[in-house]
Amino acid sequence: MSKKIILCASMLLIYSASFSQTSESAEAEKNLAKATENLKAKKYQDALVSIAKAKEETVKLFTNQLVVAMPKTVDSWNQNPPAERGAGIAMPMGQGEVSATRTYSNPSLKKTEPVVTNATTPAGAAPEGMMPPPTMAGMPGGFGDPSITVTVTNNTMWANEVAMAHANASNENATPAYAMPGMEGQKTSPIKVAEYRALERFDTNSKRGTVTVIAGAGVIKVEGNNIESKDILVKLANAIDYKVVKSVLGE
């Protein structure tokens, strides 16, 4: 009985996702048709509005393709539902550039906050009634719940950063990296994730880090805040379906 329930639930989710994509595709086509009609009628402002709406729906469809590459869960870190609008939706970042993002949380991990004893505010903590200061690299542990963000994009700036790190690693004459005062906890290393070039950053003081991977024309960036170890970032990066990334964004 339980297997039948699970099967029905799975089929419902698949149908719902399929219906959503079909609906968005239909909306995009409808708005493109409106734009054509408005252009013929020389209603250029209305045409621009219809084109913008069609673009928004098309961007959502693009997002759905990219999000498929992201794992639902890794080591008790679960993918959160997408926001109603904005966050989690692919947004144009430049000419031909897109980005899809999902956040992950781990229910078993508790928030890390400064401990106040005898009504004394500890060094670095915010006085009562005030927002805590932003966490900077080199400062002790961040505020808020441990969280991870995964972004799949074709951001060339991120790709260049990874490529340069690997080029410098193989260059015997390259200037070695050094830690600035107050940033001694930082470590940056060119690594491989699956078969792809990647760049790993982690700061043991701020408990923040990133793993950025180049896969064909796609770039995957896994960012962690208030986490104890870089290991989960590497595991999440390894759990990405790189075949999907390359099929959507290109080789």
Tens of each residue's pLDDT in the chain, 251 residues: 444 433 343 333 333 444 455 666 777 788 788 878 878 888 878 778 878 877 777 778 878 889 999 999 999 999 999 876 544 444 444 556 788 999 999 999 866 554 444 444 444 444 444 444 444 333 444 568 899 999 999 988 999 999 998 988 776 555 444 444 444 567 889 999 999 999 999 999 899 999 999 999 999 999 999 999 999 999 999 999 999 999 999 98
Q: Is residue 126 part of a domain?
A: no
Are residue 45 and residue 61 in the same domain, yes or no? yes
CATH code for the domain in which residue 210 is found: 3.40.1000
Residue 46 lies in a domain: yes
Please list, in sequence order, all residues whose beta carbon lies within 8 angstroms of the beta carbon of residue 100, skipping any fewer than 6 positions away. 62, 63, 66, 67, 88, 89, 90, 151, 152, 153
**Does 218 lie in the same domain as 173?**
yes
Do the Cβ atoms of 79 and 102 come closer than 8 Å?
Answer: yes
Confirm whether 45 is domain-assigned: yes
Q: Which helix (H) or strand (E) holds 186?
A: strand 186-193
Which residues span the domain enclosing 201? 70-114+136-249
Instruction: Please check whether residue 122 lies inside any domain of the structure.
Output: no
Task: Please check whether residues 230 and 143 belong to one and the same domain.
Answer: yes
Q: Which of these, 85, 39, 92, 83, lies nearest to 62 by C-alpha position?
A: 92
Residue 61 sits in the same domain as residue 147 = no
Task: State how many domains the chain has.
Answer: 2
Does residue 31 sit in the same domain as residue 87?
no
Q: What is the value of pTM for the model shown?
A: 0.69
Separation of alpha carbons 97 and 66, rounded Å: 13
